[in-house]
Amino acid sequence: MIETCDPQNEFQLINKVQVEPSDVEDAEMLKQALPDLKTRTDVHQIHTDGGYGSPDVDEAMREVKVEQIQTAIRGRKPAEEKLGLEDFEWEMDGEGRAQDVICPHGQRVGVRAGRGEIAI
């Protein structure tokens, strides 16, 4: 389900309901829904959980100029005493691709593509 979630809106709307068998990845459903959603709503930013991220979704988001904000990372809950990806600052190029990542202590490292996923 895709819905508006801006606290400044007087009301919120459900913009898309999509049902698929359990063997269809969430990211694939988002990739399928994105072009129509962009056309109907002119959305600029989408907040999702970790299951909606993939290299294909990243490319689809760039094509329609929509920013994806992932609110959780897929997999096990990270240990509180360890850093997670959300603790780092990511610098993107004009195409929305990661260029540099900066740790909480200010160390910067260049990012390069590798095997379909970001490699640091």
Q: What's residue 109's pLDDT?
A: 93
Q: What's residue 74's pLDDT?
A: 62
Q: What does 48-73 look like in DSSP terms, one character per residue?
A: E-GGG--HHHHHHHHHHT-EEEESS-
> Distance (Å, rounded) from C-alpha 54 to C-alpha 115?
12
pTM of the model: 0.57
81: three-class secondary structure by DSSP: coil
> Distance (Å, rounded) from C-alpha 50 to C-alpha 29?
14
Residue 112 neighbours by CB distance under 10 Å: 10
pLDDT digit of tens for each residue in the chain (120 aa)? 677 777 888 878 888 888 888 888 889 999 999 999 999 989 999 888 888 888 999 999 999 999 998 876 666 666 778 887 778 888 988 877 888 999 999 999 998 776 555 544
Q: What's residue 76's pLDDT?
A: 64
Q: What's residue 116's pLDDT?
A: 56
Written as six digits, the tokens of 112 are: 């390069």
